Structure 1
């Protein structure tokens, strides 16, 4: 528990108003339903620290600038055997499945071994109105990823929350346990939650403009340039835990260098060109983010950074090819490639100094985020990597 200048004391109360347009009977929890909520005070005024209202406000700000955004998340998780009883000693434990569950990434071995489980997840999501684009094994033992169809920014964040709770519920019904933590086991590949975004104006994709460099309209270049420039501060939003920085390691496809590239999975900002015959193809991917992030803060902050780029006519440098981590220090310096913050402290310092994100978030929400990040820093200041991973393994 912590507090900021404006929030965290014992005074006052809030009211949660469910969005009944999104009420969803839960396929894996019969008799229960789910709905996202917006927060208001007791006089009916929007609460300034409501993350969902922040995301909606940024989406509306983009629409007022003539930009429509389509967003979606890739959710990664590691599945393990659930302990028989959740005693305090078992709470931080990690019990792998009996079978290795470590077949090739993207291969069929793990699909076969857990086919009933994965089928139940995809069916539950479909029954809840979420379109699954793909599900596949990832690199760590027992690790999977599900990609769902994009939507407007607020819906994308809603879906990210619902996907996670659905996977958690299906796992419980199979006697399994799912971890979405950035670092489940220190030293292994962690869980990301990459954010994809597509830009449109008047129904036309800004990623499919003929006779332009990289196929991007000028506003798309500026929007993505704003995101790239803000990434050091955005890490405090999208990578909000000390555990996040155990995952952010060079040459692990986590995007730890502040650069962008065409289909480059080592770039922090990846431009996906899409199929040539798809008029809606083309999107960008923020690769650094993980599921410790509040998805509403993630989409809202990325939109705010992009809009600041449009306002300032930000540009993109030359795209990078290959792995920046394999370049020498001097060569990275020559190309202007810098390492993104390697600690939560450094990222929080950058967020604290970011005037555009402070303005977008507002004093109350910005101050609350900074206070929570500082509390996380203090909580784990004396912990090693294994202790951080164990303490946060089941938080998400």
Structure 2
């Protein structure tokens, strides 16, 4: 369903007898927020936006300046598959505005749009293709798996294939193109890969994808989670982010004369992400639990390095296939699927642009298994570590001029403040592990 104008939206709402139109946006942490309007209020919502209380949204306004406007982006209009029938429901993503109609600087979607505008002024289009992993459990009260499958297992071991199939159909109904899906390494862990798209559209699609996965699971009596590390001793869920820059129809990352088929633009971009990776990690891995995944031994990259085929490196450059110049890209492997995609894509892009603008030099690739190296060997190769916990990552971001520039002062301050609060709650919490280990002996 393709809409380009307000008239397109109003026509479809009438033709399809739509009962409600949901207005979607996210808070600073990437939690989806929504409210619904009836068709009778749609015209006002399209032309002026709908007001709401921003002081009740995480990372938005203070109570004395709480009035906000949600202005829908008509190009994101789609029917919601789990609210079909005779009176279907539709949704549109919104830009959050100040009452005077100016963009609200606390809106994560605006953070990404602002940077994409800067990229466009340089002649580039930013393309992204994330791979989001997730788990199916019996319910949201525990981690009882639906199967004991592993990587690429099929039925009857893979008991989530029907859920994935239904999810893919729902995504396609919403105009989201899927490339493939499969069972992942851990029991009851799955992945559905979306075809790459322009950065803002892909951030919208990522938010939609997460909700569709959860709604299809719920409808079938199960629970889906994008929690990075829900099961001790098993692989966590990552979000490997494929990305590239195009100039018109030309892939700016491709150079046929280079031994890696990478242009100088691509090399500087990779170097930018590598140099600034510790600073942006709190945005791409934003929860206490994120750092239970970022440990050696479970395929999650914890070391700052790049490679062609080595999946222990933080950045991988998929091998070039003749005639596939447009597919030249990098794969950033440390982010996890619970992040705010608008902010995560923005800091990745911002770090890459910093490398391009300052002509950072890309180091040599590391094709050995970094997990097998000892500290002295890693040091000899110039390999550094990502932050080991949320507090360390927050401190790295707090002193980063790049992160502050990309996020803007408002989002930057609110995000850092939230992460400090989360860490303080975590470090003072007495866990079951501590009680079991210490109570009877100390």
**TM-score by structure 2 length?**
0.81
Q: Paired residue for 1:264?
A: 310
* Inter-partner Cα distance in structure 2 for 1:114 and 1:345: 35
Alpha carbons of structure 1 residues 212 and 95: separation in structure 2 relative to 1, 3 Å: closer
Q: How far has the Cα of 1:13 moved from its partner?
A: 2.0
Query: How many pairs align?
Result: 377
Q: Which of these residues, 125, 129, 133, is aligned with residue 179 of structure 2?
A: 133
Q: Check the 8 A contact 1:207/1:281 in 2, yes or no.
A: no
Q: Where do 1:352-391 residues align within 5 Å?
A: 352-383=398-429
Q: How far has the Cα of 1:225 moved from its partner?
A: 1.0
Q: Where do 1:320-339 residues align within 5 Å?
A: 320-339=366-385
Q: How far has the Cα of 1:29 moved from its partner?
A: 2.7
Q: Paired residue for 2:144?
A: 96
Q: Paired residue for 1:184?
A: 230
Q: Check the 8 A contact 1:103/1:109 in 2, yes or no.
A: no
Cα shift readout 1:190-218 (whole Å, capped 9, x = no counterpart): 11122110222232113331212411111
1:322 counterpart SS class: coil
| More contact order relative to length (CA 8 Å, sep ≥ 6) | 1
Q: Which of these residues, 104, 120, 145, is aligned with residue 47 of structure 1?
A: 104
Q: How far has the Cα of 1:172 moved from its partner?
A: 1.1
Q: Which of these residues, 56, 69, 72, is aligned with residue 18 of structure 1?
A: 72
Q: Which of these residues, 49, 57, 60, is aligned with residue 117 of structure 2?
A: 60
Alpha carbons of structure 1 residues 144 and 5: separation in structure 2 relative to 1, 3 Å: closer
**Bigger Rg, structure 1 or 2:** 2
Unaligned runs of at least 5 residues, structure 2: 1-54, 435-442
* Inter-partner Cα distance in structure 2 for 1:94 and 1:141: 14
* Inter-partner Cα distance in structure 2 for 1:213 and 1:67: 24
Cα shift readout 1:214-264 (whole Å, capped 9, x = no counterpart): 111111111121111110011010000010000101132211101111132
Q: How far has the Cα of 1:10 moved from its partner?
A: 5.2
Q: Check the 8 A contact 1:18/1:36 in 2, yes or no.
A: yes
* Inter-partner Cα distance in structure 2 for 1:2 and 1:259: 41
Q: Check the 8 A contact 2:127/2:243 in 1, yes or no.
A: yes
Instruction: Say which is worse superposed, 107-116 or 201-210, in terms of deviation.
Output: 107-116
Alpha carbons of structure 1 residues 359 and 104: separation in structure 2 relative to 1, 3 Å: closer
Q: Check the 8 A contact 1:192/1:291 in 2, yes or no.
A: yes
Alpha carbons of structure 1 residues 274 and 6: separation in structure 2 relative to 1, 3 Å: same
* Inter-partner Cα distance in structure 1 for 2:182 and 2:339: 22
* Root mean square deviation, CA, Å: 2.3
Q: Check the 8 A contact 1:40/1:47 in 2, yes or no.
A: yes
Q: How far has the Cα of 1:341 moved from its partner?
A: 0.3
Q: Paired residue for 1:299?
A: 345
**TM-score by structure 1 length?**
0.89
Q: Check the 8 A contact 2:253/2:265 in 1, yes or no.
A: no
Q: Check the 8 A contact 2:71/2:94 in 1, yes or no.
A: yes
* Inter-partner Cα distance in structure 1 for 2:397 and 2:253: 29
* Inter-partner Cα distance in structure 2 for 1:95 and 1:104: 16
* Inter-partner Cα distance in structure 2 for 1:299 and 1:134: 22
